[in-house]
Amino acid sequence: MKIKTAEFIKGITGTNEILEDGKKQVAFVGRSNVGKSSLINSLVGVKDLARSSSTPGRTQEINFFLINNRTYFVDLPGYGFAKTSKRKREKIRKMIIWYLTYSGVKPHRVILIIDARVGIKEFDIEMLSLLQEENIKTIVVANKMDKVKKSVEHKIIEKIKDQLSDNAKFLPYSAKTFLNKDRLIEFIFSNF
Ligand SMILES: Nc1nc2c(ncn2[C@@H]2O[C@H](COP(=O)(O)OP(=O)(O)OP(=O)(O)O)[C@@H](O)[C@H]2O)c(=O)[nH]1
Ligand SMILES: [Mg+2]
């Protein structure tokens, strides 16, 4: 499977203007600043398709990108950025949960991204159980592996795996070096 075309379609903030046209959706979720937007860019091979930033809280909307004219990649805002107000954090949390459960769109796959150096946090656990309840095929991706020292790589990966259920899918990744890009694309598009 090769990604040949990618275009931004729209961003939504409310909970009543969902894009639902029968095309399959692949959603990218995770805490703020873990690299969701960068990871999407790395997969499609376009540097600035999804806006990324070193300032956490960059993505505030649910953004839809059309891939190969037939699948949507959905970039969700990040949860848990301490500097945004509690009200805003709660709004983002509700938006993510709404998208995943009540919006009428059941994403075909979810890529749950964590920062390899940070590991799995409370919100990730909450998301994982929600995704399991909804029966959504999910993979946990530990991004920013290029920032992890070789000597602790193994330990970090084992620690993350310990926190996941036995049948959970997991992949170390780097949006910078494209580590495991092919394997992630394979997961996303298998049995489509
Ligand atoms: N070294 C390294 N840096 C990365 C990687 N992925 C993302 N970054 C950096 O991490 C920062 C955050 O990346 P974003 O892609 O904006 O993260 P996000 O999860 O979309 O953030 P929000 O939209 O705020 O939730 C940026 O400075 C990126 O350049 C990676 O694999 N390796
Ligand atoms: Mg983002």
CB of 32 within 6 A of ligand 1: the answer is: yes
Q: What is the pLDDT of residue 190?
A: 87
What is the structure's pLDDT at 69? 94
Q: How confident is the model at residue 21 (pLDDT cuts 50, 70, 90)?
A: confident
Evaluate: CB of 89 within 6 angstroms of ligand 1: no
pLDDT classification of 158: cutoffs 50, 70, 90: very high
pLDDT at 123 over 80: yes
Average pLDDT of the segment spanning 34-47: 92
More confident residue, 29 or 49: 29
Ligand with an atom nearest the CA of residue 34: 1
Percentage of the chain lying above the pLDDT 70 cut? 95
63 CB less than 6 Å from ligand 1?
no
Beta carbons within 10 angstroms of residue 160's beta carbon: 20
Task: Ligand 1, residue 32: give the atom nearest the CA.
Answer: 25
Q: Which domain holds residue 180?
A: 6-189
Query: What's the distance, Cα to Cα, between the start and end of the chain in Å?
Result: 11
Distance (Å, whole) CA 25 – CA 129:
20
CA 161–ligand 1 middle distance (angstroms): 22
Tokens of 125: 């656990």
How much is the pLDDT for 70?
94
Angle CA 121–138–58, to nearest 5: 55
For the range 163-169, what are the long-range contacts, defined as Cβ-Cβ under 8 Å and sequence gap of 24 or more?
163/119, 163/120, 163/125, 164/120, 164/128, 164/140, 168/128, 168/138, 168/140, 169/138, 169/139, 169/140
| Domain count for the chain | 1
pLDDT score of 152 more than 90: yes
Confidence bin at 47 (pLDDT 50/70/90): confident
User: Above 90 in pLDDT, residue 88?
Assistant: no
183 CA → ligand 2 middle, Å: 22
Tokens for 158, please give them: 């084992």
pTM value is: 0.93
Measured CA to CA, the distance from residue 87 to residue 90 in angstroms comes to: 5
Q: What region does 30 belong to: left with phi over 0, alpha with psi -120 to 50, or beta? A: left
The predicted structure's pLDDT at residue 16? 63
Residue 96 domain flag: yes
Average pLDDT, the chain: 90
The larger pLDDT score, comparing residue 128 to residue 13, is at 128
C-alpha 14 – ligand 1 centre gap (Å) = 24
- DSSP designation for 131: H
**Nearest C-alpha to atom 27 of ligand 1 is from which residue?**
54
User: How many whole angstroms from its chain centre is CA 188?
Assistant: 12
Looking at residue 174, which CATH number applies to its domain? 3.40.50.300
Q: Which of 6-20, 46-60, 82-96 is the least confident region?
A: 46-60
Using CA atoms, how far apart are residues 36 and 136, in angstroms rounded to an integer? Answer: 18
Those residues whose C-beta lies under 8 Å from the C-beta of residue 101, and which sit 6 or more positions away, are 130, 134
Residue 145 pLDDT > 80: yes
Q: Is the pLDDT of residue 9 over 80?
A: yes
Q: Residue 15 has what pLDDT?
A: 65
Number of DSSP helices (H) and strands (E) in the chain, helices first: 5, 7
Structural domain contains residue 1: no
Position 78 in a domain: yes
In angstroms, the CA 65 to CA 168 distance is 26
Residue 71 in domain: yes
pLDDT at 56 over 80: no
- The residue to mutate among 13, 39, 53, 127, having the most atoms of ligand 1 within 8 angstroms of its beta carbon, is 53
| Distance of CA 191 from the midpoint of ligand 2 (Å) | 27
